[in-house]
């Protein structure tokens, strides 16, 4: 399933940074996800796509909720 593939592509970062990315996603939907896309060895295209979709759909609240949920996933996947 596409959603699982996208979730598996979340770059694991330390807990503090993951919380910062969550906060960014709360106030600027997609920004935390976009930054996370560049945190690995290279750019994670799936995460860039998710960030763009979160930003585009934020106007109808769906993207905002999605971005918050994605931020929570980043915190859950965080190291330490």
Tens digits of residue pLDDT in 14-31: 999 999 999 999 999 999
Give domain limits for the chain. Answer: 2-77
pTM of the model: 0.91
Cα angle at 71 between 68 and 76, to 5 degrees? 130
Residues 6+ apart with CB under 8 A from 73: 7, 10
Predicted confidence at residue 5, as pLDDT, reads: 86
């Amino acid at each position: 399933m596409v959603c699982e593939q996208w979730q598996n592509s979340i770059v694991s970062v330390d807990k503090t940074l993951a919380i910062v990315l969550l906060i960014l996603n709360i106030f600027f939907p997609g920004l935390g996800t976009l930054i996370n896309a560049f945190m690995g060895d290279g750019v994670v295209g799936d995460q860039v796509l998710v960030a763009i979709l979160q930003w585009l759909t934020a106007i109808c609240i769906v993207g905002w909720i999605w971005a918050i949920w994605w931020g929570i996933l980043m915190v859950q996947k965080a190291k330490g």
